[in-house]
Amino acid sequence: MSVDTTGQSRRGFLQGAAGLAAVPLLVADSRKAAGASRAATTLTERRRLGRLRVSGIGLGTQTMPGNLYGPVSSRKDMVALVRTAVDQGVTFFDTAEAYGPFEGERILGDGLRGVRDDVVIATKFGFEIDPVTGRRGEGLNSRPAHVRRAVDGMLKRLRTDRIDLLYQHRVDPAVPIEDVADLMKELIRAGKVLHWGLSEPGPQTVRRAHAVQPLAAIQNEYSMAYREPERQILPLCRELGIGFVCWAPLAYGFTTGTINPYTRFAEGDFRASVPRHAQENMAANMPLVQLILDWSVRKGVTPAQLSLAWLRTRQPWVVPIPTSTRLSHLLENLGAEEVTFGREELKELTAALDAITIQGARLPPPVLAATGVEAPPRRA
Ligand SMILES: NC(=O)c1ccc[n+]([C@@H]2O[C@H](COP(=O)([O-])OP(=O)(O)OC[C@H]3O[C@@H](n4cnc5c(N)ncnc54)[C@H](OP(=O)(O)O)[C@@H]3O)[C@@H](O)[C@H]2O)c1
């Protein structure tokens, strides 16, 4: 892309007075325009993921253990943040045994004490993680004996007797999906799991899995900066009646306007390893941020609210699960529920997004290689 949607050339955008140096100011302007009322939203809308009913915005917990996007204020704050989300009407919480490992589930279990029956808990299995010690081994493991043990550990950490939505985190190229689906059937019969889903699967694997035990949701990356699911997976979800959960709905913070080519990620911050965040790629992708900032001011909302609200217009069964480790961000993000678009407005915004090509891969090569994988056939 050489021309951004405001009509400036990319070079002009980067060099001009309204370029990068102005971004923080514009973010501040759009936040001010959003006013206080949207920050106080209590979620009321509910959405369906298969037969599951969840709040229209969920809460991710991946960064709460403090070892992925840099340290967090404190564990106590993370537990309190989960409880505040409940108080604000969030009923959909996303975690995984791999977050920490284990600590994301423990934080959620602590935060949901006493309100467990009012919420939907989603977690994920599938990596080679020792079910007792949490030591992370190499690669994936969806072998049924391993998953059975993993689920028992999850129930303890989450302080619950059932998992509302259990995902396979990544398709295991060594385990037929029918074996995994049969195991889910067994766990559902036992009452330990209520619904299941897949994360970043190949499309044929979705069909095969769904034929054995119906899926409630697919969880894939989807945001204004990454729209690949629109090609194959979203149409497939519509055809099969499966819900769709968007991970990284804020593109790791990029669509909030708070990271840019001059951002220096903290030591160990996963985001530094994402090719899309290489300085030249972030610079090339700034027209997207500019578009979001312009529309935020026009709508009187914040960039994060605009990003989440647009995702929510894509389908009534699409649910974003932004992570936030800051109370102010959590409250701001929930304000997206109140943001509405007129038909023409939405057409105009989506057309402007269509005209932007994002540069740089969404994940580091070895992590990317584990997405879109088709499971092997079951042996006769
Ligand atoms: N299935 C999978 O393979 C997979 C992969 C990745 C993630 N996930 C799930 O999806 C969830 C969300 O994904 P994600 O955390 O990678 O990406 P994300 O939600 O797109 O972005 C999170 C980042 O945005 C920042 N942020 C949040 N709200 C903000 C606001 N209003 N203004 C400015 N910055 C804001 C957060 O910072 P603060 O903490 O400072 O608010 C954090 O750095 C995860 O927690 C996890 O549950 C699943």
Give the containing element (helix H, strand E) for 94: strand 92-94
- 3 is a domain residue: no
- 302 is a domain residue: yes
Q: Is the beta carbon of 127 within 6 A of some atom in ligand 1?
A: no
Mutate to test the pocket of ligand 1, among 124, 250, 255, 273 (most ligand atoms within 8 A of CB): 250
Location of structure tokens 């020792």: 130
Cα–Cα dist 261/285, whole Å: 9
List the end-to-end C-alpha distance of the chain, in Å, as a whole number. 50
Q: Is the beta carbon of 321 within 6 A of some atom in ligand 1?
A: yes
Mutate to test the pocket of ligand 1, among 276, 329, 373 (most ligand atoms within 8 A of CB): 329
Cα–Cα dist 360/357, whole Å: 10
Cα 197 to ligand 1 centroid, rounded to whole Å: 20
Q: Is the beta carbon of 250 within 6 A of some atom in ligand 1?
A: yes
Q: Which domain holds residue 64?
A: 10-359
For residue 320, the cross-strand partners are 246
Q: Is the dihedral of CA 85, 335, 333, 51 positive or negative?
A: positive
Instruction: Spell out the per-residue pLDDT of the chain, length 380, in tens.
Output: 222 222 233 333 233 333 333 344 455 555 555 543 455 579 999 999 999 999 999 999 999 999 999 899 999 999 999 999 999 999 999 999 999 999 999 999 999 999 999 999 999 999 999 999 999 999 999 999 999 999 999 999 999 999 999 999 999 999 999 999 999 999 999 999 999 999 999 999 999 999 999 999 999 999 999 999 999 999 999 999 999 999 999 999 999 999 999 999 988 899 999 999 999 999 999 999 999 999 999 999 999 999 999 999 999 999 999 999 999 999 999 999 999 999 999 999 999 999 999 999 999 999 999 999 999 999 87
Residue nearest to atom 26 of ligand 1 (CA): 253
Strand runs labelled E in 105-251? 120-125, 127-129, 136-140, 163-168, 193-199, 217-221, 243-247
- 245 is a domain residue: yes
Q: Is the beta carbon of 59 within 6 A of some atom in ligand 1?
A: no
Residue nearest to atom 25 of ligand 1 (CA): 253
Q: Catalytic amino acids? A: 99
Q: Is the beta carbon of 199 within 6 A of some atom in ligand 1?
A: yes
Is the preceding peptide bond at 101 cis, omega within 30 degrees of 0?
Answer: yes
243, 319 in Cβ contact below 8 A? yes
- 376 is a domain residue: no
Q: What's CA 324's distance to the chain center, in Å?
A: 11
- The total domain count for the chain is 1
Cα 31 to ligand 1 centroid, rounded to whole Å: 19
Location of structure tokens 């501040």: 28
**Biggest alpha carbon distance in the chain?**
66
Mutate to test the pocket of ligand 1, among 73, 196, 221, 323 (most ligand atoms within 8 A of CB): 323
Cα–Cα dist 119/152, whole Å: 20
Q: With helix as H, strand as E and coil as C, how does 9-71 read?
A: EHHHHHHCCCCHHHHHHHHHHHHHHHCCHHHHCCCCCEEEECCEEEECCCEECCCCCCCCCCC
Cα–Cα dist 290/311, whole Å: 18
For residue 177, the cross-strand partners are none
Residue nearest to atom 34 of ligand 1 (CA): 253
- 23 is a domain residue: yes
Cα 253 to ligand 1 centroid, rounded to whole Å: 7
Cα–Cα dist 123/151, whole Å: 9
- 4 is a domain residue: no
- 347 is a domain residue: yes
pLDDT at 70: 86
Q: Is the beta carbon of 247 within 6 A of some atom in ligand 1?
A: yes
- 379 is a domain residue: no
Cα–Cα dist 303/281, whole Å: 20
Q: Is the beta carbon of 30 within 6 A of some atom in ligand 1?
A: no
Give the containing element (helix H, strand E) for 319: strand 318-320
Residue nearest to atom 1 of ligand 1 (CA): 199
215, 49 in Cβ contact below 8 A? no
The two structure tokens encoding residue 258: 């708070």
266, 273 in Cβ contact below 8 A? no
230, 200 in Cβ contact below 8 A? no
Cα–Cα dist 339/256, whole Å: 15
Q: Is the beta carbon of 61 within 6 A of some atom in ligand 1?
A: yes
Location of structure tokens 């998953």: 147
Q: Is the beta carbon of 252 within 6 A of some atom in ligand 1?
A: yes
325, 76 in Cβ contact below 8 A? no
Burial pattern 117-128, b for ≥16 Cβ within 10 A else e, equals eebbbbbbbbbb
**CATH number of domain containing 233:** 3.20.20.100
Residue nearest to atom 31 of ligand 1 (CA): 329
